[in-house]
Amino acid sequence: MRITPKDEVRPVAGAESQEQPPVWRHRHILDLDDFSAAEIGLVMETSDAMMEILSRPIKKVPTLRGKTIVTLFYEPSTRTRSSFEMAAKNLSADVVNLNAQVSSSVKGECLTDALATLEALGADMVIMRHPMSGAPYVAARRIEASMINAGDGWHAHPTQALLDLYTIRQHKTSLKGLKVVIVGDIKHSRVARSNIWGLTKMGADVTVCCPYTLLPFGLEDTRGIFPEVTVTPDIERALEGADVVMALRLQKERQQSGLLPSIREYARYYQLTEARLAEAKADAIVLHPGPVNEDIEIASGVAHGPQSVINRQVTNGVAVRMALLYLLSGSKRL
Amino acid sequence: MTRPLLIKNGHLIDPARGLDETGSIFLADGRIAWVGGGKTPPTDYNIIDAGGLIVCAGFIDLHCHLREPGYEEKETIATGTRAAARGGFTTVCCMPNTDPPLDNQATIDYVKSTAASQGAVRVLPIGTITKGGQGRELAEMAEMSEAGAVAFSDDGCWVDDSRLMRQAMEYSQAFNRPVISHCQDAALSEDGQMNEGITATRLGLRGIPAAAEEIAVARDIALAELSGCRLHIAHISTASSVELIRRAKDRGIRISCEVTPHHLTLTEERVMGYDTNAKINPPLRTAGDINALINGLNDGVIDIIATDHAPHTENDKLCEFALAPFGMSGLETALGSLMGLVHDGKLPLGLLISKLTTAPAGIIGPDFGRLGTLKEGAAADITIINPDHEWTVDASQFASKGRNTPLAASHLKGRVMATIYNGKLAYKDASIKAGEAND
């Protein structure tokens, strides 16, 4: 099943069409706010080609042979890092994994020194995860290598959002007009922010659902600096007629910082349960960026149920990240 | 001994005495000897031709950070006062959050003696309210006052113990020095990086809500009323703070307040792209706040303009946004930024000058000389301005060590062309003609 999210993504074949396929113009991937629908479409199509490679008995192509890709993680992560690592290796790149720590006593120099070192060592691309919003932007201004944001603070996680879009696109004919509900800790979620950018650019209607203490300031604001979304604290109402439901991981420390009275109360009012999911359309799909706290933000029956595409997200993640590495490399051959 | 100085043909503006005319001004023995025209000085003297330029009293900055002692990599008294001179400031009041902090007589003495030997302009140190600026016990305010502290402030922190703040306000009245409060509720602003609003949401940065300032302003107004203290509120940044102060003044409470050039001209959107040079405390707010602050200046609710010059090194700011320190280097761009408001018709020129001269002199009081006016007998502190000079901000040319400005490469209209402190040129643009009368 192939779909065309927006007309301009794939011009109608024929003599009358003068449109060119979208040109890839990103040196870095920092967030989806500077992606057009056409560019997102290009990522989707390139991911299709990567899925085909992943279906082969030997899942390896020489596209990035001789390129060095560094994963620089200031925060622990298993799935995002291994997904990038597999993507890079499938394209025959050399991968170096580095763990780092943020130290406020040697701030600044620490991040920029690390990057200067990586560049001196010959990194062509740096995949960075950092607990502080904006760190990849500081980095991208300082280095020649391509920077991929693998999650920065509360701000953005563009490759996760793209794999979510890709997963939705696999199951729905078009993203346009879909009702997508994001349930959970929106305030501290880079996944939610990047998904809001990506989904709205592709024409989906986004509803976010959370207690007001986990809602970022002014999300419902219509001044246009951040895409408009519908906000409701009522999960039954939010899920009504939904095509896609995305549950977010709830960090335990939200209780300690006073944003929630208890995890138990949160689960009682915001857990995605079978009964609540029944409010959504019968063919609604359920996503979760992982790792899942079963029976907190999502009932284990839903996480493992027939509507869950959580494992598909993981598989798709490798293909989407392969597509992004390929597009960033400027390589012409696959 | 300094040669006398004649500044001729300038457009003299002194809101303190209603002066607004072309004329000359003669400085001798560190004082303004006479103001007007038609007189010829009796002796050898130097001349500055101020034709086409505005001549006013030297600016007074009630709020800046000179960083010495302790943070000399960011700024020193020598570099900070040279930056002040370039910005037209002949008197700067420096905040005590140094290392060690200015919380006793010895450190006040240190700043004064260093300024006397190395300063390009007058430095009036501000002492802390509490020991170490820690907010727990009163600092030795009387001794610091005797040593020359001009005011008391725990700038950077709010004294959040209400009883202690009340006591500071009561105790300080014996020696008639204002208490300057940095109004910001610590719990509500904890770990905040920028104004709480839609831009912070977009950038994923923890916000500092306007209410954090307003809660503190409201409490301090109540304590000023209770104690009768002369309270000055530093760098107000929100529309509701203006309203709180307006109502307090209407009720006759003795308070004054300041606003910075950046809070009058820049919005939170400057932070987009994670520009750490736009990370300032209190944070840059919204266009609505700017309008309220400009209105507050025009109708007198806001008494003065102060820079909150906060220099940092390039490395301090070259880091993750959350790790960068707050503050911008502001002395050298203050006038150019503010003249933008004058050119846009939002602020009359005379009012702007009074907010930089007469008004802060009034808050400092008479104990530190006759400042902020062109009256005969006043200190020979003069600033000469070209209101129409257009220039591009090049931080690498700053006299300040702090090149941390969100205004880098901005075009400004209006510039200080010369600054005279104590009868001597402290700064002069190359275009200004100065020479000896006998040449």
- The CATH number of the domain holding residue B50 is 2.30.40.10
Q: Is residue B157 located within the same domain as residue B98?
A: yes
CATH (residue range A37-156+315-329): 3.40.50.1370
CA distance B158 to chain A (A): 22
CA distance B90 to chain A (A): 35
Mean pLDDT, 10 residues at a time, over chain A (334 residues)?
37 43 86 95 96 95 95 92 97 93 61 84 94 94 92 97 98 95 96 97 97 90 80 96 97 86 96 98 97 96 97 97 95 64
The answer to whether B201 contacts A219, with C-beta atoms less than 8 Å apart, is: yes
Question: CATH class for domain A158-311?
Answer: alpha beta
Q: Is residue B93 located within the same domain as residue B123?
A: yes
Final residue before a domain boundary, out of B317, B344, B368: B368
pTM equals 0.93
Name the residue with tokens 């700038």: B155
| Interface predicted TM-score (ipTM) of this complex, two decimals | 0.90
pLDDT band at B438 (very low <50, low <70, confident <90, very high): low
CA distance B126 to chain A (A): 28
- CA–CA gap between residue B191 and residue B201 (Å, rounded): 15
CA B35, chain centre distance (Å): 27
Do the domain assignments include residue B258?
yes
The answer to whether A109 contacts B319, with C-beta atoms less than 8 Å apart, is: yes
Counting one residue from chain A and one from chain B, the pairs whose CB atoms sit within 8 A come to 88
Choose the closest CB to A193 out of B204, B274, B322.
B204
- CA–CA gap between residue B347 and residue A331 (Å, rounded): 57
Do the domain assignments include residue B375?
no
For residue A157, what is the DSSP state? -
The answer to whether B207 contacts A217, with C-beta atoms less than 8 Å apart, is: yes
Residue positions of B annotated with a catalytic role: 308
For residue A30, what is the DSSP state? -
Say whether residue B315 is in contact with chain A using an 8 A CB cutoff.
Answer: yes
Do the domain assignments include residue B94?
yes
Choose the closest CB to A223 out of B198, B317, B319.
B198
Say whether residue B197 is in contact with chain A using an 8 A CB cutoff.
Answer: yes
Q: Is residue B282 located within the same domain as residue B186?
A: yes
Provide the domain count of chain B.
2
pLDDT tens-place string over residues B346-363: 999 999 999 999 999 999
Do the domain assignments include residue B266?
yes
Q: Is residue B22 located within the same domain as residue B88?
A: no
pLDDT band at B224 (very low <50, low <70, confident <90, very high): very high
Q: Is residue B329 located within the same domain as residue B306?
A: yes
Could you tell me where in chain A the CATH 3.40.50.1370 domains are found?
37-156+315-329, 158-311
Final residue before a domain boundary, out of B340, B368, B396: B368
DSSP 3-state of A95: strand
Helix axes A190-201, A37-54, angle to 10 degrees: 110
Please compute the mean of the pLDDT values over residues B97-114 and round it to a whole number: 98
DSSP 3-state of A69: strand
- CA–CA gap between residue B117 and residue B403 (Å, rounded): 25
Q: Is residue B30 located within the same domain as residue B115?
A: no
Q: By mean pLDDT, which of A15-24, B97-106, B264-273, B422-431 is the weakest? A: A15-24
Instruction: For residue A156, give the chain B residue with the closest CA.
Output: B204
Final residue before a domain boundary, out of B345, B368, B391: B368
Contact A41, A67 (CB under 8 A): no
The answer to whether B320 contacts A193, with C-beta atoms less than 8 Å apart, is: no
pLDDT tens-place string over residues B127-165: 999 999 999 999 999 999 999 999 999 999 999 999 999
List the single best residue of A106, A115, A133 to mutate versus B (max B Cβ within 10 A): A133
Choose the closest CB to B322 out of A109, A132, A219.
A132
Partners of B204 on chain A (C-beta within 8 Å) are 133-134, 152-156, 190, 193
Residue B104 has pLDDT above 50, yes or no: yes
Choose the closest CB to B204 out of A107, A155, A221.
A155
Do the domain assignments include residue B86?
yes
Q: Is residue B259 located within the same domain as residue B406?
A: no
Query: What is the SS3 assignment for chain B?
Result: CCCCEEEEEEEEEECCCCEEEEEEEEEECCEEEEEECCCCCCCCCEEEECCCCEEEECEEEEEECCCCCCCCCCCCHHHHHHHHHHCCEEEEEECCCCCCCCCCHHHHHHHHHHHHHHCCCEEEEEECCEHHHCCCCECCHHHHHHHCCCEEECCCCCCCCHHHHHHHHHHHHHHCCCEEECCCCHHHHCCCCEECCHHHHHHCCCEECHHHHHHHHHHHHHHHHHHCCCEEECCCCCHHHHHHHHHHHHCCCCEEEEECHHHHHCCHHHHCCCCHHHCCCCCCCCHHHHHHHHHHHHCCCCCEECCCECCCCHHHHCCCHHHCCCCCCCCCCHHHHHHHHHHCCCCCHHHHHHHHCHHHHHHHCHHHCCCCCCCCCCECCEEEEEEEEEEECCHHHCCCCCCCCCCCCCEEEEEEEEEEECCEEEEECCCCCEEECCC
Do the domain assignments include residue B167?
yes
Do the domain assignments include residue B76?
yes
CA distance B128 to chain A (A): 26
The answer to whether B320 contacts A155, with C-beta atoms less than 8 Å apart, is: no
Enclosing domain of residue B431? 5-55+380-436
pLDDT tens-place string over residues B15-48: 999 999 999 999 999 999 999 876 777 778 999 9
Q: What pLDDT does B37 receive?
A: 72
Percent of chain B with pLDDT over 70: 99
Say whether residue B73 is in contact with chain A using an 8 A CB cutoff.
Answer: no
Partners of A218 on chain B (C-beta within 8 Å) are 197-198, 201
Name the residue with tokens 């008995």: A57
Contact B229, B179 (CB under 8 A): yes
Do the domain assignments include residue B196?
yes
The DSSP bridge partners found for residue A272 are A298
Partners of B207 on chain A (C-beta within 8 Å) are 217
Q: Is residue B20 located within the same domain as residue B79?
A: no
CATH number for the domain harbouring residue B329: 3.20.20.140
- CA–CA gap between residue B136 and residue B168 (Å, rounded): 11
Bond prior to A306 in cis (omega within 30° of 0): no
- CA–CA gap between residue A148 and residue A164 (Å, rounded): 17
pLDDT tens-place string over residues B193-213: 999 999 999 999 999 999 999
Instruction: For residue A135, give the chain B residue with the closest CA.
Output: B320
Average pLDDT, chain B: 96
Please compute the mean of the pLDDT values over residues B305-327 and round it to a whole number: 95
pLDDT band at B437 (very low <50, low <70, confident <90, very high): confident
Instruction: For residue B316, give the chain A residue with the closest CA.
Output: A108
CA distance A115 to chain B (A): 12
pLDDT tens-place string over residues B238-249: 999 999 999 999
Q: Is residue B272 located within the same domain as residue B202?
A: yes
CA A70, chain centre distance (Å): 19
Q: Is residue B388 located within the same domain as residue B330?
A: no
Residue B174's CB is within 10 A of a number of other CB atoms, namely 10
Say whether residue B318 is in contact with chain A using an 8 A CB cutoff.
Answer: yes
For residue A294, what is the DSSP state? B
Q: Is residue B30 located within the same domain as residue B105?
A: no
Q: By mean pLDDT, which of A250-254, B325-329, B332-336, B390-394 is the weakest? A: A250-254
Three-point CA angle B23, B25, B28, nearest 5°? 165
Say whether residue B321 is in contact with chain A using an 8 A CB cutoff.
Answer: yes
CA distance B200 to chain A (A): 8
Q: For residue B36, is it left (φ>0), alpha (ψ between -120 and 50) or beta?
A: left
CA B63, chain centre distance (Å): 4
Partner A, chain B 270-289, Cβ-Cβ below 8 Å: 273-274, 276
Buried b (16+ CB within 10 A) or exposed e, A291-309: ebbeebbbbeebbeeebbb
Four-residue CA torsion sign, B340, B344, B345, B347: negative
Longest CA span, chain A: 63
Can you read off the two tokens belonging to residue A229? 């979304």
Ranges of beta strands (E only) in A4-145 are: 68-73, 94-99, 125-130
Partners of B315 on chain A (C-beta within 8 Å) are 108-109
Partners of A133 on chain B (C-beta within 8 Å) are 203-205, 274, 321-322
Residue B370's CB is within 10 A of a number of other CB atoms, namely 17
Name the residue with tokens 């001349």: B47
Can you read off the two tokens belonging to residue B19? 């002066």
The answer to whether A133 contacts B322, with C-beta atoms less than 8 Å apart, is: yes
- CA–CA gap between residue A105 and residue A114 (Å, rounded): 15
DSSP 3-state of A245: strand
Q: Is residue B9 located within the same domain as residue B139?
A: no
Q: What pLDDT does A19 receive?
A: 53
Element (H, E) at A244: strand A244-247
- CA–CA gap between residue B231 and residue B221 (Å, rounded): 8
